[in-house]
């Protein structure tokens, strides 16, 4: 497993090369940036096109899985690498934070649990972190792809 910045940047370089080829094949324009964020390799494609994001980030999630497979194939270890396209992840994080704050306010006002729409594990973690910071509790319920966060009083 990658445990230092040099390893993480090397993971990002592998993926950046792969994505550069993919952009060429698909005849899409975009600049690729490799960095480290929250202890993970983070590869961002700066583009005006949302083709690589897809509906609800589905294409982006698939690209990220492919990128992690590239790292696994080349290095033999699993990667927690994140891929972003056109700032989608930051916008989605802001939406999820607002959604969590609305659910927190609702639970504090009514005392009743609030069930959110289904979301993937990464998105649920963002919501769980926001709920915990507000002093409430949350849990995930259901099976993927319909797994959702339930927010309630402690």
Q: What domains lie within the chain, and their CATH numbers?
A: 5-86 (3.30.300.20), 90-152 (3.30.1370.50)
In this predicted structure, what is the pLDDT of residue 81? 96
pLDDT tens string 32-72? 999 999 899 999 999 998 899 999 899 999 999 999 999 99
Give percent of the chain with pLDDT exceeding 90.
Answer: 90
Answer yes or no: is pLDDT of 1 > 60.
no
Answer yes or no: is pLDDT of 3 > 70.
no
Q: Is the dihedral of CA 138, 102, 115, 154 positive or negative?
A: positive
Answer yes or no: is pLDDT of 15 > 70.
yes
Mean pLDDT, residues 103-124 taken together: 95
In this predicted structure, what is the pLDDT of residue 116? 97
pTM for the model stands at 0.84
Q: Measure the CA–CA gap between 137 and 113, rounded to whole angstroms.
A: 10
Give the C-alpha distances (Å, rounded to integers) separating 121 from 9, 139, 140. Answer: 24, 12, 9
């Amino acid at each position: 497993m990658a445990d230092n910045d040099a390893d993480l940047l090397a993971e990002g370089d592998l993926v950046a090369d792969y994505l550069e080829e993919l952009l060429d094949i698909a005849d899409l324009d975009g600049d690729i940036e490799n960095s480290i964020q929250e202890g993970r390799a983070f590869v961002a494609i700066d583009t005006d096109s949302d083709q690589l994001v897809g509906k609800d980030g589905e294409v982006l999630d698939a690209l990220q899985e492919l990128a992690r497979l590239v790292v696994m194939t080349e290095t033999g270890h699993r990667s927690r690498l994140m891929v972003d396209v056109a700032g989608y992840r930051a916008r989605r994080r802001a939406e999820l934070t607002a959604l969590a704050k609305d659910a927190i306010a609702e639970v504090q006002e009514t005392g009743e649990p609030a069930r959110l729409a289904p979301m993937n594990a990464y998105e649920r973690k963002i919501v769980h972190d926001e709920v915990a910071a507000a002093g409430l509790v949350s849990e995930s319920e259901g099976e993927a792809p319909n797994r959702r966060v339930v927010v309630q009083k402690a």
